[in-house]
Structure 1
Amino acid sequence: MLNFPSWKKGLIVLICLCGVIFAMPNLFFSRVEQANDARALVETGATLTDEQAAALDGWPAWAPSSLVNLGLDLRGGAHLLVEVDVEGVYAERVEGYWPEVRDALGAMRDTVGTVRRVEGAPGELRVRIGNAEAMPQALAAVEDLSRPVVSLTGAGARDFDVTADGDELVLTLSEAEQIATDDRTMQQSLEIIRRRVDEAGTREPTIQRQGADRILVQVPGIGSAEELLALIGQTAKLSFNPVVQRTSDPDTRPGIGNLLLPSVDEPGSYYVVEKRAVVTGEELVDAQPSFDQNGAPAVNFRFNPSGGRKFGQYTAQNIGSPFAIVLDEEVISAPVIQSHIPGGTGIITGQFTVEDSTRLAVLLRAGALPAEIQVLEQRTIGPELGKDSIEAGKLASIIAFVAVLIFMILAYGLFGVFANVALLLNVAMVFALLSTIGATLTLPGIAGIILTIGMAVDANVLVFERIREELKAGRGPARAIEQGYEKAFSAIIDANVTTLIAAVILFAVGSGPVRGFAVTLGFGIVTSVFTAIWVTRLMIATWFARRRPKTLTV
C-alpha cells in the first residue's frame, strides 16, 4: 500500500493544491472584498472613483476571489425576529368574494328575493336573502363560484365553504385554503423582505422562516435594527406598462418616453416599454394562483375601482398587444391581451407549473407586505463586538493549532511533522470549501473548525499508535506502516461517520449559528479523513521510498 500509482499521486497533489489556492483569498480578506465590490460596480456600468479603481487593481481578475462570508456575530449588524399576522389576511380574502357573490345572487333575485350583506365576524362573509325557502338554490349558486385550492397538499379541496344560518348565507375560507393562504402569505413576506434587503447591497443576509408565522432576519454590516426595520418597510414598485418592442440587444435605444428593461424569466431578453404606466401596484388589490379554462395553472389578479377602470379601457383598445408587468425595473411577465378585461380583474396564462403560478402571484403581490408584522425581538451588534469576536476566535484557533503542532512533533517526531503538514492542508481545504459555496462563518463555525483540528489529529494518532504496535510485534518498517493504516482505517471511519451523522442532523433541524457549526464540522470531517488517510500516507510513502530505512522509530 506504500506504492502509489502516478495518477493517484497526481490527484492527491491536485486536490491539495486547489485547496490552498481557493483558500488563499481569505488571507487577504479586505483587499479581495474591496476588489469584488469594485468589480460588481463595473458589471453594472457604473463609473469607478480613483479609490475603487485602485481597489479593483488590488486583486487580479484571473485569481480566485471567493471569500468566506462573515456572520452577524463577526461582522456586526442587525437581528430581527418578526411575527406575521397571517390570520389578518383571511378577512381580506373573504372580502374579495363579495362582488362575485352579489352578482351571482343578484341574477337570481326572482328566486331568492332581496340580497343584502350583513355584519359578520372577522373572516366570514354574511349575506341575507329575502326568501329563506330558496336557501338551497342560493347555496348551490355560491358554491359554483368556488375554485380548486392551488397547492400541492390541497388537491381536490375548494377555496371556500358556504353554509346556511337561517335566512343568512355564511361564506368562510376552507381549512385547505387557510393553510394555502398562510403558506402564500409567508412566501410573499419572505420574498418582499429578501428583495428589500438585497437592494441595500448587504452581504449574505439570513432571511428564513421560523415556525408557522415567524421570520428571522439577520443582516451583517447594517447600522442598526431600526435601520433594518425601516428597510423592510419599504414598498416594491410595481407597474403595468405598454410594450413597444422586445429585443435581445442590451444597447437598444428605447427612445424618448420609453424604458429598456431586462426580462426576469427570459435571460438575455429585453423589453422597450412606455415610461407611462397604465396602472401601478398601488392600485393592485390581490393576485392569487389559479387555473385557466383548460385546467392549466394561471394567475388571477384584481385592481381597485380606479385601477380596474383604467385597465379595462386599455385592454379594450389594445387587444392582441402585449403589456409588461414590471417589478423593480424588471419585466417579470409580458402576456398578450386576448380580450377586453372589464371589472378590474384578469388572468395571466402561460407555460406555468403550480409552483410557477404561485411564484408569479407572490411577485405580483410584492408591492407591500400582505399582513402586519410585529417585532418580537431586535438586536444591534456593533462592529467592535464583531471585531473582538474575530480576534478571540483567531487567538483560540492559534493557541489550539500551535499546541497540537508541538504535541505531534514531540510525540511522533518526523511522522508528527507529516501530520502537521496534513493538518495545515486540512484547514486550507475547509476554508476553500466554505469560500466556494459562499458559506457564512460564525463563532460556532470557528468552533467547528477548531474541533476539526482535533478530529484530524485523532485520526493520525490512531494510525501512528497502530504502527507502533506493529513495530513492537516485530514487523518490518514497510509492513508496520501498511498494517498501521489498514487496521486503523475502520476505527477512523467509524468515529468520523458517527460525527458526520450528528452534523447532518444539526444542519437539518438547526438554524442560524447551529447550521454554521454543522457545515464547518461536516466539511472538516470529510477533509480530515482525506488528509489522514491519503495525504499523510503519500508523504510517508514518498519519504520511505527515498530513504529505505532499515529500522523505524515513531
Structure 2
Amino acid sequence: MKNKALRNILIIVVVILVILIDFPILGNVKQKIFNRDVTAQLGLDLRGGMQVVLQAPEGYQIDQETLQVASSILENRANALGVSEVLFQVAGDNYIVGEFPGLENIDEVISVIKQTGMLEFVDVGDEYLEPGTVIQTDYTGTKSGSTDSTSPEAAATVAPEATTTVAATEAAAAGTDTTAADAAAAPATDKIYHTVITGADLEDVFVTAPQTPTDGYAVSFKLKSDATQTFADYTTNNVGKMLAIVLDHKIVSTPVIHQAITSGEGAISGSGENAYTYDEANNLRITLFYGTLPVSLEIAESRVVGPTLGQDSLNKSLLAAAIGFLIISLFMLIYYRVPGFVAIISITIFGLITYAIYLVIPVTLTLPGIAGFLLSVGSALDANILQFERLKEELRRGRNLQQAVDLGWSRAWPSIRDSNLATLITSAILFWFGSTFGASIVKGFALTLAIGVVISLFTALFVTRTLLSSIIDRFKDSDKAKWFGI
C-alpha cells in the first residue's frame, strides 16, 4: 500500500461529493449541473399510481420492432401528462405495459393514451407559427389504423408529445407550454389552414448525414405515388413559403420550401444554429414516420396502487434496512473489533456512493430494486469478511499487522473476484430477461444489484484496504489479540 495519504484524501473527496448529491444541499447548483431535480425517483409500488396493459387486437400480426416504436411513442405522449418516470415496456409478442407512478386519474390517462396521432403537412403561407401552437385544419379524413377518428375504440397508436428535440427546445425558448393540456387547448386563432398531405402519404423516412462539416443532419422522405403529384403541384407554386409539420393539430416544426419537389422525394433540414443533430433528426424521423402507426392497441387492463400502500411499503423497507444495519454493525464490532469498525465505515460509504449513483443515472426505486440493493450490501459485507478472516489467519501465523493486511487481501481477492463476477453475470441475465419479456420488476432488481456489486468491489478494493492499512499504524503487534479478535 503506497501513497496512503493520497488515497485517504481521495476517499474524503468522494465522500464529500456523494454527501452533496445524496442530501438536500446546494439544490440549485445540482439542478443546473444535471438539468433536473436530483431527488429519489420512486416506482409504482412505493409511490402509488396506476398500471395499464395494452394489447394488439386478437389475430392482428405485429412484429417486435413496431411494438418497440409504439412503446417509445406512448411513453413520450404519456409524459405530456406531467407524470414523471412514466415507463412503457413491451411484454411478450402482443402486449405493452405502462406504469404511471404518482398518478391516480384513470380517465385522464386512458383518454390521452387512446388518442390517435394525426400527422399533417399544412400550408401556412408566409406565417411562421411557433412549435406548440395549436391550429385548426380542413382535414376531415379518418386516421390510418383506425375506423373512426372520433370513435372511443379508435386506435391507441399515438405519437409523442413534441417528440422532436428541436421542437421541444424551440418551444421552451419561446415560453410555450407543451403539456398535455395543450392538446385539448383552444386553437390560437380561428383561421383554418389547408392540409396538403398527411402522415399516411409517407412511404419512407430516413436520416441523411451532413453534406459539409457546417451542415446538420437532414430528414429525407419519400411519398407514396398517389401523393407525389399533389405535393409537386403545391411545392411548385409555393417556393419560399412555409410548410408546417403538425401533430394532433399542434405545430412540431415549420420548415421553408426551398425548391419544388416533383419527384416525391424531399428533405427537411435546419440551418445555422437550428441545424439538426443526429438525435434531433432521428426524433423528427420517428415523428414523421410513426405519427400514425398502422396498428391499433386496446386497453386490456388497468389498476391503481394507492399512495398509502406505497408509503407503507417504503416505511417498512427503511425500517428493515435500519434494523439489519444495526445487527450487522454489532456483529462486526463484537467479532472483528477494529477491522469490524473499518467495515462499518466502508459499508456506510458504499451506501452513500450507491445512492448517489441511483440519483445521478437516475434509477427508479421499487421494492424489488431495494431488495437488489440490500442483497448487494451482503456482497459488500462478504468481501470485508473474507479479508478479515484471511487477516486473522495471517496474524495467527505470526505475521506483523502490515504483513497480515497485505497477505490477507491478496489471498482473499480471488474469492471476492469470482463471487462478484458470478453475481454480475446473473444480473446481466436477469436484466436481459426483464427487457425481453417486459418484466420491469426483474429488470429493476437486476440493475440495482449490479450497481451495488460494482460499488462493493470499489469499497473492498480501495476503501476498506486503505482505511485498515492506515489505522493499523496506531497499534502494536502485541495488541493484536485485544483489538483484532485473535
Q: Give TM-score scaled by structure 2 length.
A: 0.72
Distance 1:374 1:10 in 2: 58
Name the SS of the counterpart of 1:349 in structure 2. Answer: strand
- The root-mean-square deviation of aligned C-alpha atoms, in Å, is 4.1
Alignment of 1:454-469 (within 5 A): 454-469=378-393
Tell me what 1:424 maps to.
348
- With over 3 angstroms needed to count, the CA separation of the structure-2 counterparts of 1:357 and 1:83, relative to structure 1, is farther
Tell me what 1:515 maps to.
443
Distance 2:449 2:196 in 1: 46
- Please tell me whether residue 18 in structure 1 is matched to residue 24 in structure 2: no
Tell me what 2:266 maps to.
348
Tell me what 1:481 maps to.
405
Tell me what 1:62 maps to.
29
Distance 1:429 1:285 in 2: 50
Deviation at 1:11, TM superposition (A): 2.5
- With over 3 angstroms needed to count, the CA separation of the structure-2 counterparts of 1:287 and 1:314, relative to structure 1, is closer
Tell me what 1:54 maps to.
none
Tell me what 1:287 maps to.
202
- With over 3 angstroms needed to count, the CA separation of the structure-2 counterparts of 1:262 and 1:439, relative to structure 1, is closer
- With over 3 angstroms needed to count, the CA separation of the structure-2 counterparts of 1:449 and 1:262, relative to structure 1, is closer
Check conservation: 1:288, 1:361, Cα contact below 8 A: no
Deviation at 1:263, TM superposition (A): 7.6
Q: Name the amino acid aligned to 2:468.
A: I
Q: Name the amino acid aligned to 2:8.
A: K
Identity of paired residues, percent? 31
Distance 2:478 2:382 in 1: 28
- With over 3 angstroms needed to count, the CA separation of the structure-2 counterparts of 1:534 and 1:243, relative to structure 1, is farther
Check conservation: 2:88, 2:99, Cα contact below 8 A: yes
Q: Name the amino acid aligned to 1:61.
A: N
Deviation at 1:544, TM superposition (A): 2.2
Distance 2:385 2:56 in 1: 53
Q: Name the amino acid aligned to 2:10.
A: L
Tell me what 2:101 maps to.
220
Check conservation: 2:7, 2:466, Cα contact below 8 A: no
Deviation at 1:419, TM superposition (A): 0.6
Of 204, 226, 231, 2:85 maps to 204
CA shift digits 1:190-247 (9 cap, x unpaired): 3441232111011111112223332111111111544422220134464424364889
Tell me what 1:435 maps to.
359
Deviation at 1:478, TM superposition (A): 1.7
Name the SS of the counterpart of 1:62 in structure 2. Answer: helix
Which consecutive unaligned segments of at least 5 residues does structure 1 have? 26-31, 33-58, 89-177
Tell me what 2:417 maps to.
493
CA shift digits 1:117-139 (9 cap, x unpaired): xxxxxxxxxxxxxxxxxxxxxxx
Check conservation: 1:82, 1:214, Cα contact below 8 A: yes
Alignment of 1:405-420 (within 5 A): 405-420=329-344
Of 528, 532, 538, 2:466 maps to 538
Name the SS of the counterpart of 2:88 in structure 1. Answer: strand
Alignment of 1:35-114 (within 5 A): 60-63=27-30, 65-85=37-57
Check conservation: 1:72, 1:442, Cα contact below 8 A: yes
Distance 1:224 1:509 in 2: 31
Of 303, 317, 323, 2:237 maps to 317
Deviation at 1:319, TM superposition (A): 2.7
- Greater CA drift, 16-25 or 394-403: 16-25
Distance 1:281 1:504 in 2: 49
Tell me what 1:171 maps to.
none
Deviation at 1:76, TM superposition (A): 1.0
Of 293, 299, 302, 2:221 maps to 299
Distance 1:361 1:87 in 2: 29
Name the SS of the counterpart of 1:200 in structure 2. Answer: coil
Check conservation: 1:20, 1:425, Cα contact below 8 A: no
Distance 1:487 1:189 in 2: 52
- With over 3 angstroms needed to count, the CA separation of the structure-2 counterparts of 1:262 and 1:435, relative to structure 1, is closer
- With over 3 angstroms needed to count, the CA separation of the structure-2 counterparts of 1:195 and 1:277, relative to structure 1, is farther
Distance 1:87 1:335 in 2: 43
Deviation at 1:286, TM superposition (A): 3.9
Check conservation: 1:289, 1:297, Cα contact below 8 A: no
Name the SS of the counterpart of 1:212 in structure 2. Answer: coil
Distance 2:425 2:261 in 1: 59
Q: Name the amino acid aligned to 2:366.
A: T
- Greater CA drift, 217-226 or 183-192: 183-192
Deviation at 1:375, TM superposition (A): 2.8
Q: Name the amino acid aligned to 1:514.
A: V
Q: Name the amino acid aligned to 2:255.
A: A
Tell me what 2:124 maps to.
242
Of 338, 343, 347, 2:259 maps to 338
Which consecutive unaligned segments of at least 5 residues does structure 2 have? 32-36, 137-161, 175-187, 208-217, 270-275
Distance 2:93 2:163 in 1: 35
Deviation at 1:487, TM superposition (A): 1.0
Bigger RCO of structures 1 and 2 (CA < 8 A, at least 6 apart)? 2
Name the SS of the counterpart of 1:399 in structure 2. Answer: helix
Deviation at 1:512, TM superposition (A): 0.7
Check conservation: 1:204, 1:219, Cα contact below 8 A: yes
